[in-house]
Amino acid sequence: MPDTEVTWFDLYGTSSGLANNLARLMRQVRACGVMPAVRQTLRRVTRPKAAAGPPRSSPPAAIADHCSWLGDASEIERGDLTITPINLAAFMRDCGYPRRYYRAERRVRYALWHYAGFQLAELAPTDVVLDAGAQDGIWGDLARRRHGCDVYDADLQFPPGVHGRKIGCEIGSIPLDDTSLTCIVSFCAFNCFEGDADQAFLREARRLLAPGGRLVIAPLCIADEYINLYDPSILHHVDRLDERAQHIAWDGWGTNFGRWYDRQAFAERFLTAAAGLSVRIVHVHVHHATDGGVRDFYAAVCHKD
């Protein structure tokens, strides 16, 4: 099929809120157990909704998809990856990407991040992988099916401790042995690590990775301005926001916290904590990126020397 015959709307899956919420609940039950899943669902459906606010499909105008400083950052290795609708459709079909759980344009965004993760991680059956901030373990399931590798799913929502391949823990204190992993991935999670958890995670990744191992983060939120975005109906301890960042409250966003690094913050927080890892920033070019708020993004690939 010619590339021009595929649109992002072909990839959206079901738009049924009921079907997606049921699928989400079932995955949470499998990941966390019945009562934690029920509590999490109740928190989500009873959370106060904003009376009015910006649309939830994209950040407010103050957060532009511009990172002009990257072109001048000679100390950072750069790369490019292009994803077309035909590539993405084939990936979603071949791996059996869930048609429920993610809804509409959110399904496309997550599929893009997950597909980029596979492309950049270059997994083999011998790999031992950790998905940090795994939520309900969708990417881990895909990795096991596609590549036959060993995958741990780590998330604070899981019961504390190591339970088979599920790990409940703080992201800066993962109960695995030094150099026990060959790959660590994080999808739409790293930018949500509050306080100093981003730096703690990078130091923990350096400890856990074997020599030659790699860390993949998608998306990597970098911009011309240093911003903390938060939904005040969820995040109440705003005193923990980054001191130098702009603090932007977005009622109805639906996510408690998000961090965009400017050049100084990236150097101070990311590169310093990632000492011992070689860092490459990849610009992911998304073809036909005009439908449904889907657009280009950045990813980070860090190798342990």
SS (H, E, C) 39-67: HHHHHHHHCCCCCCCCCCCCCCCCCCCCC
Mean pLDDT highest for which of 13-22, 78-87, 96-105, 259-268? 259-268
Whole-number average pLDDT of the chain: 82
Average pLDDT over residues 21-48: 56
Q: Among 55-59, 69-73, 190-194, where is mean pLDDT lowest? A: 55-59
Task: List b or e across 77-105, with b for residues whose CB sees 16 or more CB atoms inside 10 angstroms.
Answer: eeeebebebbbbbebbeebebbebbbbbb
Same domain membership, residue 184 and residue 39? no
Question: How far apart are the C-alpha atoms of 167 and 169, rounded to whole Å?
Answer: 6
**Residue 120 belongs to some domain of the structure:** yes
**Residue 1 belongs to some domain of the structure:** no
Same domain membership, residue 101 and residue 36? no
Same domain membership, residue 33 and residue 86? no
Same domain membership, residue 166 and residue 25? no
Decide if 169 contacts 142 (C-beta within 8 A): no
pLDDT of residue 52: 40
Decide if 148 contacts 36 (C-beta within 8 A): no
Q: Among 6-10, 29-33, 74-78, where is mean pLDDT lowest? A: 6-10
**Residue 97 belongs to some domain of the structure:** yes
pLDDT of residue 110: 86
Same domain membership, residue 193 and residue 75? yes
Same domain membership, residue 113 and residue 39? no
Q: In Å, how far from its chain's centre is CA 140?
A: 13
Q: Among 23-32, 101-110, 254-263, where is mean pLDDT lowest? A: 23-32
Structure tokens at 235: 């995040």
Question: How far apart are the C-alpha atoms of 280 and 282, rounded to whole Å?
Answer: 6
**Residue 4 belongs to some domain of the structure:** no
pLDDT of residue 55: 41
Decide if 92 contacts 111 (C-beta within 8 A): yes
Q: Among 52-56, 115-119, 217-221, where is mean pLDDT lowest? A: 52-56
Residue 145: phi and psi, rounded to 5, are: -70, -45
**Residue 51 belongs to some domain of the structure:** no
pLDDT of 20 over the 50 cut: yes
User: What is the SS3 assignment for 257?
Assistant: strand
Average pLDDT over residues 70-96: 89
Per the structure, how many domains does the chain have? 2
pLDDT of residue 41: 56
What is the DSSP pairing of strand 246-249 with strand 227-230? parallel
Tokens 């989500």 sit on residue: 44
Same domain membership, residue 167 and residue 91? yes
**Residue 7 belongs to some domain of the structure:** no
Give, to the nearest 10 degrees, the angle between helix 85-94 and helix 105-121. 80
pLDDT of residue 171: 95
Q: Among 23-32, 68-77, 282-291, where is mean pLDDT lowest? A: 23-32
Same domain membership, residue 35 and residue 141? no
Task: List b or e across 169-188, with b for residues whose CB sees 16 or more CB atoms inside 10 angstroms.
Answer: bebbebebeeeebbbbbbbb
**CA–CA distances in Å: residue 113 to residues 46, 216, 258:** 29, 10, 16
Residues β-bridged to residue 278: 303
Same domain membership, residue 243 and residue 196? yes
* Nearest CA-CA partner of 262 in 72, 55, 57, 58: 72
DSSP 100-163: SSS-THHHHHHHHHHHHHHHHH---TT-EEEEET-TTTHHHHHHHHHH--EEEEE-TTSPBEEE
Same domain membership, residue 176 and residue 271? yes
Question: How far apart are the C-alpha atoms of 209 and 128, rounded to whole Å?
Answer: 10
Average pLDDT over residues 157-173: 93
CATH number at residue 232: 3.40.50.150
pLDDT of 94 over the 60 cut: yes
Decide if 50 contacts 230 (C-beta within 8 A): no
pLDDT of residue 47: 55
Mean pLDDT highest for which of 43-47, 140-144, 188-192, 210-214? 210-214
User: What is the SS3 assignment for 269?
Assistant: helix
Range of the domain at 137: 64-304
Mean pLDDT highest for which of 77-86, 175-184, 187-196, 241-250? 175-184
pLDDT of residue 152: 97
pLDDT of 75 over the 90 cut: no
**Residue 99 belongs to some domain of the structure:** yes
**Residue 125 belongs to some domain of the structure:** yes
